[in-house]
Amino acid sequence: MLLPFKKLLNASMAFALFASLVLFSSCGDDDDVTPDTTAPEVTIDGLTNDAVVNGSVTVSLDAEESDLDKVEIYVDGTLVTTLTGSPFQYTWDSNTAQDGAHTIKVIAYDKAGNKTEQQVSVQVTNTLVSFSIEANQLETDEGYKERGFVFLSDENGKVIASTEYENGKSYTLKNAEFKGEKFYLSEVVVRTGTESSRSRVFTFAQVERGKTWKLMYEHDRDETFVGEATLNFTDFANGYGYYGETNGDQAFPDIYNQSQVVGLRKNPSSLYVERQDEYATQTATYRLFTNITTGASHTIDLSKVNIPVTETTVDLPESAYYAEVEISAFTEAGVYENAFRLGSFGSSGSQITYHYPGTAFPTYYSQIELEEDQFYYSRGSSEKLFEVKYLENEVTFDYSSNKLNSSAVGDFDLLAVILGYEENTWTLVLPEGTNQVPVLELPASLSGFQFPEWGLPAQYSIVDFGEVDSYDGLKDFIRNSEYSVDDLFEDGKNYIEMNYEGPSSGGRKAKKQNHFSALNLGSK
């Protein structure tokens, strides 16, 4: 059918208009489309930088899940999993990694291919505690054998880890189920012998996980002699006694032979000689002979022992009925090695008189013991040869619901609570303040040994150290020490300890000891 020109023209114009509209519309749509370049907003939930973690660690993402396509999780740069759907959460077993710093990184992708990275550094502490045993820590003799144990307890007194240890070995204690940050650490030594069995336990409170520890043990210091020297004494004076001391060893308390062989711990060494009249009516005199060498023979002219000592008398506290001071001297200023043990001086009545050789030595150190009706007092001082300074304190105890409750307020670093007497003791080393210590269960490895029953203490001590300023400082000191707490009682260390009878003593006088950490399990 032929169409009139007019209709064809109208149809053509209509088609052109439609095409132009379509083209215009198409061009407009292309201009409105904007590519998605926005990175997804994702954060790691519940983990912060330097967070301390252990066991199973949950890595959870806080994000708009509908926008996410996948999430990659890396530990120390290694891809450990890819999550493609909800929930965007992963559990990492940190036991597969060594203790220390580790990096957790997540890369989240949205459906447009955009990505976001988030990263945190965490500290893994699956190890509860690690320690090394000295080669001579435990002793075995013909009459006895020592065995050592360490066990850890939670806040309810339940055992969370334990081991028996041997000389010269290192140990690491773990428990994947224990999530606490602190625990009780108990050091145990039992001695079995032909005559009897003995035990001693030291329990430290609030020990932080993930750190090292140093166990206490009995030791003898300065046992090595570098050699011997022959001393030939001349010009003895009638009516006098002579006392001699080489460095680090009281080799001959009485000089009565013209020739003696003595051990030296240092080469060259010095020889301290003191003279006293037999009736102690005259001031003692002294002389320090120098350049005593090993393998040599030396003539010691006793007529030169003529320098008067410095003598001092001080009053005792009114409540004290006995005191004693031991004075040591050292040849190097501020260096407390190779001591000259100058002697011990006891009190008479309400006073104590002691003497020392003035400026013959640049450094002195004293250990004071004082006894009262209610407590023993001991002090180590590098500052004054004799000064009594009591520690103000208020300490109370209560035992109920299988817990030993204590309140200790005063100016001191630790409270040592001692259960039992002499052969079998259990000492709880606690911070100042309020403590509630549950009965600590024993690991199966300790069944069959005898330990003190829990209850009110037989004794307790308060101790203030010059080397540390808090209970936390004490724990840090132990970790870096050679002999644990005992290092704080060595020559040159300032300390004050007051040891009391406990409420369970029943009037029984506590056995006098040098300090609470004395580890004597019997004669050796």
Q: What is the pLDDT confidence band of residue 451, given thresholds at 50, 70 and 90? A: very high
Nearest partner of 380 among 490, 235, 236, 462, judged by Cα: 490
138 and 111 belong to one structural domain: no
Q: Which of 101, 124, 147 is the last residue of a domain?
A: 124
Of the segments 8-22, 43-57, 404-418, which one has the largest average pLDDT value? 404-418
179 and 236 belong to one structural domain: no
| 76-79-84-90 Cα dihedral, nearest 10 degrees | -40
82 and 170 belong to one structural domain: no
193 and 272 belong to one structural domain: no
Q: How many CA atoms lie within 13 A of 404 on its CB side?
A: 26
Segment 302-341, tens digit of pLDDT:
999 999 999 999 999 999 999 999 999 999 999 998 899 9
116 and 138 belong to one structural domain: no
Interacting residues of 88 by C-beta distance below 8 A, sequence separation 6+: 60, 61, 63, 65, 68, 71, 108
208 and 230 belong to one structural domain: no
406 and 487 belong to one structural domain: yes
Segment 483-513, tens digit of pLDDT:
999 999 999 999 999 999 988 866 555 555 5
Q: Is residue 378 part of a domain?
A: no
136 and 92 belong to one structural domain: no
The whole-angstrom separation of Cα 518 and Cα 523 is 13
Per-residue pLDDT at 5: 37
Rounded alpha-carbon distances, angstroms, from residue 119 to 82, 99, 354, 401: 16, 19, 68, 47
Q: Is residue 246 part of a domain?
A: yes
Range of the domain at 486: 131-217+391-501
112 and 88 belong to one structural domain: yes
pTM over 0.85? The answer is no
Q: Is the pLDDT of residue 444 over 50?
A: yes
Q: Is residue 340 part of a domain?
A: no
| CATH code, domain carrying 297 | 2.60.40
Q: Which of 124, 156, 191 is the last residue of a domain?
A: 124
Q: Is the pLDDT of residue 404 over 50?
A: yes
Q: Is residue 509 part of a domain?
A: no
The whole-angstrom separation of Cα 434 and Cα 71 is 49
Q: Is the pLDDT of residue 2 over 60?
A: no
Our count of domains for the chain comes to 3
Question: 486 and 137 in contact (C-beta within 8 Å)?
Answer: no
54 and 77 belong to one structural domain: yes
Q: Is residue 153 part of a domain?
A: yes
474 and 415 belong to one structural domain: yes
Q: Is the pLDDT of residue 16 over 70?
A: no
Per-residue pLDDT at 80: 93
Q: Is residue 435 part of a domain?
A: yes
Q: Is the pLDDT of residue 391 over 90?
A: yes
Q: Is residue 208 part of a domain?
A: yes
Segment 409-422, tens digit of pLDDT:
998 999 999 998 77
Per-residue pLDDT at 29: 52
202 and 279 belong to one structural domain: no
| CATH code, domain carrying 109 | 2.60.40.10
Q: Is the pLDDT of residue 524 over 70?
A: no
Segment 93-120, tens digit of pLDDT:
988 889 899 999 999 998 888 989 999 9
SS3 (DSSP) at 95: helix
The whole-angstrom separation of Cα 465 and Cα 412 is 8
Segment 269-312, tens digit of pLDDT:
999 999 998 877 889 999 999 999 999 999 999 999 999 999 99
The whole-angstrom separation of Cα 368 and Cα 323 is 7
Q: Is the pLDDT of residue 66 over 80?
A: no
Q: Which of 264, 283, 308 is the last residue of a domain?
A: 308
